[in-house]
Chains A and B, each alone.
Chain A
Amino acid sequence: MSLSRADRQLLALLRGCALLSAVIVLLILLFLLRESWPVLRQVPLLRFVTDASWHPVDGLYQLTPMLSATLYSTLGAVLLATPLGIASAVFSRYYAPPFLAGLYRRLIELLAGIPSVVYGFWGLITLAPLIGRLHPPGVSLLTGILILTLMILPTVALTVDAALAAVPIAYVRGAAALGLSRWGLISGVALPAARSGIIAGIILAAGRAIGETMGVLMVAGNVVQQPLSLFDSVRTLTANIALEMAYATGEHRAALFVSGLALMLMVLVLVGTAELLFRERRYD
């Protein structure tokens, strides 16, 4: 098919944009590899999970505790934020009266706009002492999970809300004509129809949770240890980078870039798994 002049120009522009995005991602990956090369060259990959501890100045590069901390905090936050976010979107789309729905949506958007350092501050001053009363020290994996949940909740709520808004009105009428209740419509038709949007929202939120630094750093305690309970202090990969970057040099610095590389790999695995898991049963 021959394209018109305008179409060809647009196509070139769009291809350019797509290429640019892809190149940027690749460049970041290359940069991370280059910066971590000094340590990757000498230390076999296995030692990042088998070394005795994380003492990079002494040449010990155990990353597992931080990997686990990132993994657990992300997992916990996603598990909490997903049902809450979906419930929030269902409320604003199907149950709230119109004026309240609008107001509620603005509020959620506001929640998304609060800087992470403010969340962290609040967590440190208010939440951590509360949890400390339950089980000291208070700055812990649990506090990190709760702060992360608050931070990614608007992402889930707003994407699911948008996905539900995109459910064709014909489905709503079709469901009503079959005598389906409001909940029957929501659970049977609207949520399945909005499925891909909901999954996209969860992935976005998980990505944000993995990468979140300041909020967690302020409330999680930052002790490098394998967490054995929700009340243990933990240090996430991102916090590790932020805490040590200022004074790290040489191989220590390179080891921090390995942390960055690990983060990127985690996001890659997350997106890949989601893609695999949900490709099968897509009905649209």
Chain B
Amino acid sequence: MGRTLRKRLAAVGLWLLTFVLMVIMCVPGLWVVLTAFRPNAEVLAKPPVWIPENPSLNNFAKIFGFGADQVAIPVPAYFANSLIIALTSTVIALLIGMSGGYAFARYRFRFKNGLFLGLMLSRTVPGIALSLPIFIIWSRLGLIDAKLGLIIVYVALNVPFTIWLIDGFFRQIPKEMSEAAQVDGCTRWQAFWKIEFPLAKSGIASAGIFAFLTSWNEYALASNLTRSTDSKTLPVGLMDFTAQFTIDWAGMSAMAVIIIVPALILTFLVQKHLIAGLTFSGVKG
């Protein structure tokens, strides 16, 4: 009895410790969230005002053009662009990544290591070396200031990375499982969807989160390839708060909250599927 109690106390203690550590880690980010609800005078206050004394939604109202004489920032358009671009590119990158990852994990073929390395090295190219040539090619193809243009770029950004991740997860699944299924009369294709895919779900889910967040938050290339509300994404929209002489940090923070919240919600939802990874290790045992 005393032992279980001690065990339980230790568990609670561990939880609290972890929680506190996580919160400390989040402080710089939480500061941004708090700033979103402050009036400007409080943002610059010295000595600092820790917890907003007059919390208000004014910064959000200003963004949407209520009350203030400021022209509204087209947040709904940016938001829609971001969502469409990030989701589409994530789904495509996952499909391509699954097929590629499966090839690397399950087959032996010539140039295997070379191809793998080549794919990885494609990510070593700094965006700055790519931005101008991509711009020139895209402008010939009419892909500047178009969602499709950005989607293609983000798929390419995410593919190598999705492949490695998914490859790693497929490797953890014993070959024998799908072989057994094939002996039982499944085609390789069926064996993949029935046996291997469900087991690799956790890997695919985390690859998906990464791909989504990369696309959702990418700034450098988006700022080069987008122009107007047709394609501008939320991170590029952040720069609407900067002018030659000023940065509206409170307004920018409010916009930041608008960017962060959906990403957070999606992450929380996809977490569920990450739990499938737990069952996976159980299956093996």
Interaction A to B: no
